[in-house]
C-alpha cells in the first residue's frame, strides 16, 4: 500500500468539503426547513396547560437513599 503525498490529501479534503457544502445548500433550497428558534416560554406554557387538561400533574422525584 502506498501513501499518497500531502497535496493529494489536501485536494481530496477540499473536494469533499466543497461537495458537503454544495449538498447542504441544495437540500436547504429544495426543502426550505424552518430554522427559527422556538420561544421556550410559550412552549412551556402550552405544555403545562395541555398536561392540566388531561389530568397530569408535575411530579417531583426524589433520589433514592444511599446506604
Does the global pTM surpass 0.85?
A: no
Q: Rounded to an integer, what is the distance from CA 35 to the centroid of its chain?
A: 11
Q: What's the rounded Cα separation, in Å, for the pair 53 and 46?
A: 11
Written as nine digits, the cell of 48 is 403545562
Tens-digit pLDDT profile for residues 10-60: 899 999 999 999 999 999 899 988 888 878 777 677 666 555 555 555 555
Q: Which residues, 6 or more positions from 58, have their beta carbon under 8 angstroms from its beta carbon?
A: 48, 51
pLDDT > 70? residue 4: no
Alpha-carbon span 18 to 21, nearest angstrom: 5
Spell out the domain ranges in the chain: 7-53
Q: What pLDDT does 39 receive?
A: 81
Amino acid at each position: 500500500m502506498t501513501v499518497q503525498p500531502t497535496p493529494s490529501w489536501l485536494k481530496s479534503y477540499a473536494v469533499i468539503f466543497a461537495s458537503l457544502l454544495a449538498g447542504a445548500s441544495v437540500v436547504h433550497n429544495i426543502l426550505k426547513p424552518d430554522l427559527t428558534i422556538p420561544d421556550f416560554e410559550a412552549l412551556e406554557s402550552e405544555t403545562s396547560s395541555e398536561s392540566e387538561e388531561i389530568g397530569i400533574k408535575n411530579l417531583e422525584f426524589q433520589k433514592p437513599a444511599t446506604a
